[in-house]
Structure 1
Amino acid sequence: MKNTISAFVLGLFLVLSVDVLAQGPQFPIVKGFGGIFEIPEATERPDPKLEYKILVDLSTGAEDNKAISRWVDNVARMMNLHGLAGVPQENIKVKVVVHGGAIFTLLNDENYKERFEVDNPNLKVYEALKAAGADIMVCGQSMRARNLEVSDLWPGIRVAHSALTTITTYVPQGYVLLKF
Structure 2
Amino acid sequence: MHKFVKYGLILMSSVVCSSIFGQSPQFPIVKAFGGIYEIPDARELPDATLTYKILVDLSTAAEDNKQISRWVDNVARLMNLHGLAGVPKAALNVKVVIHGGAIFTLLTNEQYQERFQTDNTNLKVYEALLEAGVDIMVCGQSLIARKMVTKDLWPGVKVAHSALTTITTYVPQGYVLLKF
Structure 1 length-normalised TM: 0.90
Q: Which residue does 2:30 correspond to in 1? A: 30
Instruction: Tell me if 1:69 matches 2:94.
Output: no
Q: Which residue does 1:93 correspond to in 2? A: 93
How far residue 23 of structure 1 moved from its aligned partner, in angstroms, is 1.9
**Ranges of 4+ aligned residues in structure 1 off by more than 6 Å:** 11-14
Q: Kindly provide the amino acid, as one letter, of the partner of residue 33 in structure 2.
A: F
- CA distance in structure 2 between the partners assigned to 1:97 and 1:18 by the alignment: 39
- CA distance in structure 1 between the partners assigned to 2:14 and 2:46 by the alignment: 34
Q: Which residue does 1:109 correspond to in 2? A: 109
Instruction: Tell me if 1:58 matches 2:35.
Output: no
CA deviations over 1:89-121 (Å, ceiling 9, x no partner): 000000000000000000000000011111101
Q: Which runs of 5+ in 2 are unaligned?
A: 1-7
SS of the aligned residue for 2:41 comes to coil
Q: Which residue does 2:48 correspond to in 1? A: 48
Q: Kindly provide the amino acid, as one letter, of the partner of residue 171 in structure 2.
A: V
Q: Which runs of 5+ in 1 are unaligned?
A: 1-7
Q: Which residue does 2:3 correspond to in 1? A: none
Q: Which residue does 1:174 correspond to in 2? A: 174
Q: Kindly provide the amino acid, as one letter, of the partner of residue 75 in structure 1.
A: V
SS of the aligned residue for 2:142 comes to helix
Q: Which residue does 1:150 correspond to in 2? A: 150
SS of the aligned residue for 1:93 comes to strand
Number of aligned pairs? 175
Q: CA RMSD in A?
A: 2.0
- Between the aligned residues of both structures, percent identity stands at 71
Q: Kindly provide the amino acid, as one letter, of the partner of residue 70 in structure 1.
A: R
- CA distance in structure 1 between the partners assigned to 2:143 and 2:152 by the alignment: 10
- CA distance in structure 1 between the partners assigned to 2:58 and 2:139 by the alignment: 10
How far residue 19 of structure 1 moved from its aligned partner, in angstroms, is 3.5
- CA distance in structure 2 between the partners assigned to 1:70 and 1:173 by the alignment: 28
